[in-house]
Structure 1
């Protein structure tokens, strides 16, 4: 991290019952990611000598962001008064972002582990916390396990992992309404995979999609073109920054959504399980074994909807090779199908769908955390318009 990229933060401290304590001095964070709870917790311990549980980001600024954090007791350090806005409640706030909330999840996790004879040992480690999930690592007598809690609109992930237990997905240990305990997945997150590994990832996903009857899956979102049209119209209406020419192009795409399904059906690929956020960072493992992570964005839809997220950050020649492998795999899986034509039809539809997903995030998270996703609907709408050209 270069000096100009250096991030600093202050913590608005509260007790577990929500009582405000004070605002800390600013300290340096060696991570560019606002949701990197581990980096912030470690930096607070090193710079201020205090142990905290990160709750949420309360104010975005450069260089000193403000996070709300929980402390067990009032620390013996110099503190400034807390701005009431940093600790005020919000009706959309998630449980883990409220004082006492992380402790509730950890208590459930410890009880679930004790019930299976695998008690937690040592202190849990907070890894990530933001508006779409919170992630903790718990050491146990038989190795680490991971606690993940999600918003209600991702809460089908636990039931889906249970259904997909025979496939390369994280092994579910226990689940509740909005949280899962999963076993450690050895290896590394596979960001920027080489071409061979990227094609293997595609093959793993297609194997799941061709093996699982959608009728046997838990309730989850369904993304048909016709059902997308009204939410896409609203997404476009709430994105005034989209250029006029792009607005016209997206409007044309939306107008055509109700009639798109017969054309897709003629290509021979049926709706199935869609991962929803399929990319290398959501695959973990090593050169021999890969596991597909983070199924909270999943739903039922056209199988080629996953192409967009997987290839969007790849150099064009690399993306083209992966895409051709993807299409060839579907031609083998469904003889007589025309996945190339299907992908041509799906691309603008998939980009519009991405925009609507980010709009849905913004609708369901508190305003102070909107900057995580504020630019995404317009970006994907512009991408959809570009695809029509």
Structure 2
């Protein structure tokens, strides 16, 4: 069961919407897991328009059941934008000062009041790091962002035809959905590490129309972006369909990479991070030191094992460079949730986790998700061949496949670097939530390299390559 704290100022006093049967009050409760669903339920149940500022996990000792083994419950913290003239029977607006008496509340609900109050006082007492990182958790942001979107759309001759709705939010973004005369428009807001995404997506949409969401407006200072709706994302079902869709995506990203390679200066100007092969070994070594010092990341013994891999890692980077392929854009989060296939066309979105690097680092996540979708790696060769069509003529097919195998050992380090930079300025609660996220790809790198002798990546693949 989940709960909602719905505040509103009335007569100069901060009130909460409660359900009061005359003996003890309680907060509204529901089973909805997503902010948009909760907001809609509150609108229909109470006639109150809200957005969600935060979702707090309720400690087991605070939850109504008090069962540590029960599924977690969450307290949705809302901002109220408007309320109807009357609440339904049994509901009322109660001044927070009135609710302080624990004898008038169900015990668990009084403890949840404490959770909400602590968050409110922390925010109103000076905000802090999270204000810049997660501005959508501040009262007033929803109204300002919506006003910006409405003004930008009006400048394009597009009018909104209904209220903005919250699609949801995570640590890395907040999305709003706006119904307009031109169809649904999506607003996305990003934290500082992803400040490059609006500008990057705008460039890609200009260069590759139809392959990337169409950007209607963007605000680099506010890290806001408006995009046209591109329809639902349906995950493919059935092995043949899965392989075909992944093949189309692989071919599409390969062509985007190839045709972007001559424009990396423009991509870099958006703030997109660079993980150049020449610098990756030094970046890897420094990352090991940083991850070793970070609580909840690498253990001392893991650090020693990783340091022993640095020379071999440097050799792999050098050998990848010898292929002579241009470094270009890599989408490090290209999985089923971030692409849409319609017929023969593939649309790729959510470019926040992008870097400038060797193109073959692209294959790590894509082929990993293919294996997860199929339950095996049997189709890797088929999808890899689709990807490599973009690079036909650069090197013999066997050498390209050998390079792809090398890149699989290098890519986890690039992903770990991206996570390190993503968390560097994050507020403490985000860093706690993602504790271990830097070490996870490094451990994958460690497991892969220790399982496979270095000689196995030096040329053994050449003899097994088709079309050589």
Q: TM-score, normalised by structure 2?
A: 0.72
Q: 2:185 & 2:49 partners in 1: Cα distance? A: 22
* Structure 2 CA distance for partners of 1:258 and 1:191, relative to 1, 3 Å: same
| Match status 1:203 vs 2:203 | no
Which region of structure 1 is more displaced relative to structure 2, 288-297 or 324-333? Answer: 324-333
Q: Secondary structure at the match of 1:312?
A: helix
Residues 1:111 and 1:241: Cα distance change in structure 2 (over 3 Å): closer
Find the counterpart in structure 2 of residue 3 from structure 1.
none
Q: Which structure 1 residue ranges, 5 or more long, are not aligned?
A: 1-6
Residues of 1 paired with 2:29 and 2:159: CA distance?
35
Give the structure, 1 or 2, with the largest relative contact order (CA under 8 Å, sep 6 or more): 1
Cα deviation code 1:174-231 (max 9, x no counterpart) = 1101011111113424467610110100100011101112233233100131453223
Give the alignment partner of residue 129 of structure 1, picking from 143, 146, 169: 169
More deviation, 142-151/65-74: 65-74
1:60-113 superposed Cα distances (whole Å, 9 cap, x missing partner): 545322232211368835675444332223323321111111211111000000
> For 2:202 and 2:297, how far apart are their aligned partners in 1?
42
Aligned-pair CA distance for 1:269: 2.3
Q: Tell me how far apart the structure 2 counterparts of residues 12 and 251 of structure 1 sit (CA, whole Å).
A: 52
Give yes or no for contact 2:297–2:438 (8 Å, CA) kept in 1: no
Match of 1:149 among 189, 192, 213: 189
Q: Which of the pair has more CA radius of gyration?
A: 2
Post-superposition offset of 1:233: 2.9
1:362 deviates by 3.1
Q: Where do 1:348-387 residues align within 5 Å?
A: 348-370=409-431, 372-387=433-448
Matched, 1:27 2:29: yes
- Tell whether the 8 Å contact from 1:53 to 1:70 is kept in structure 2 after alignment: yes
Contact 1:10/1:27 (8 A) holds in 2? yes
Structure 1 partner of 2:107: none
The alpha carbon displacement at 1:252 in A equals 2.6
CA distance in 1, matches of 2:45, 2:426: 31
Task: Give the Å deviation of 1:139.
Answer: 0.8
Query: Of 34, 37, 56, which residue of structure 1 is paired with 2:35?
Result: 37
Count of matched residue pairs: 376
CA contact (8 A) 2:253 2:387 kept: no
CA distance in structure 2 between the partners assigned to 1:363 and 1:12 by the alignment: 33
1:166 equivalent in alignment to 2:183: no
* Superposed counterparts of 1:338-353, under 5 Å: 338-353=399-414
CA distance change for structure 1 residues 44 and 330 in 2, over 3 Å: closer, same or farther?
same
C-alpha separation in 2, matches of 1:334 and 1:114 = 47
Query: What SS class does the counterpart of residue 171 from structure 2 fall into?
Result: coil
Is 1:90 matched with 2:131?
no
SS at match of 1:182: strand
Tell me what 2:65 maps to: none
Q: Give the unaligned 5+ runs of structure 2.
A: 19-26, 60-70, 100-109, 452-468
CA 1:29–1:310 in 2, change beyond 3 Å: closer, same or farther?
farther
Q: Is the 8 A contact 2:57 2:72 kept in 1?
A: no
Structure 1 position 116 matched with structure 2 position 156:
yes
Separation in 2 of the partners of 1:126 and 1:252?
A: 48
- Residues 235-280 of structure 1, C-alpha deviations (whole Å, 9 max, x = no match): 2432556466544332333455555532221133221111121112
Secondary structure of 1:52 counterpart: strand
Aligned-residue Cα RMSD (Å) equals 2.9
8 Å contact kept, 2:6–2:17:
yes
Q: How many Å separate the matches in 1 of 2:218 and 2:6?
A: 32
CA contact (8 A) 1:57 1:369 kept: no
In the TM superposition, what is the alpha-carbon distance from 1:333 to its structure 2 partner? 5.3
Once the two structures are overlaid, the 10-residue window that deviates more, 306-315 or 254-263, is 254-263
Residue 221, structure 1, aligned to residue 276, structure 2: no
Contact 1:135 1:149 (8 Å CA) reproduced: yes
